[in-house]
Amino acid sequence: KNEVEQSPQNLTAQEGEFITINCSYSVGISALHWLQQHPGGGIVSLFMLSSGKKKHGRLIATINIQEKHSSLHITASHPRDSAVYICAVREDGGSQGNLIFGKGTKLSVKP
């Protein structure tokens, strides 16, 4: 069973486009993370959310706890945004280790 589903799996965009990546989950959670994995393999934590919305530069993450859904938006996309974006949730009552990962969304931004 896939407790964390991401869509789309692959996304190609032109530079400057507004991008949305979606994450749906089926378990009760205490937190949701968005991670970015660069083409070289390194993983960087972008956001941790438990409610509402967070913004960092051109990145915006939102979460709707009732609908069990989160979105990651990228405004004015750039080729350097090309990466795999991974959604991960921490189950309610789970400790720091209990992260459940989505399969990731591979984003390619063309110049």
Partner 1 sequence: DAGVIQSPRHEVTEMGQEVTLRCKPISGHDYLFWYRQTMMRGLELLIYFNNNVPIDDSGMPEDRFSAKMPNASFSTLKIQPSEPRDSAVYFCASSRTGGAKNIQYFGAGTRLSVL
Contact positions vs partner 1 (CB under 8 A): 31, 33, 35, 40-45, 48, 86, 88, 90, 95-99, 101-104
Angle, vertex CA 59, rays to CA 48 and CA 47, nearest 5: 10
Judged by beta carbon, residue 36 or residue 77, the one nearer partner 1 is 36
CB of 96 to partner 1, least distance (A): 5
Decide: helix, strand or coil at residue 106: strand
For every residue of 22-64, DSSP letters joined together read EEEE-S-EEEEEEEEE-TTS-EEEEEEESSEEEEETTEEEEEE
Q: Is 96:34 a contact under the CB 8 Å cutoff?
A: no
Residue number, 13 or 46, with CB nearest to partner 1: 46
Cβ at position 107, least distance to partner 1 in Å: 16
- Minimum CB–partner distance for residue 17 and partner 1 (Å): 26
Q: Which of 77/90 has CB closer to partner 1?
A: 90
Least distance in angstroms from the C-beta of 90 to partner 1: 8
Please give the single-letter amino acid code of residue 111: P
Strands 105-110 and 10-14: parallel
For partner 1, give the closer residue by CB, 15 or 92. 92
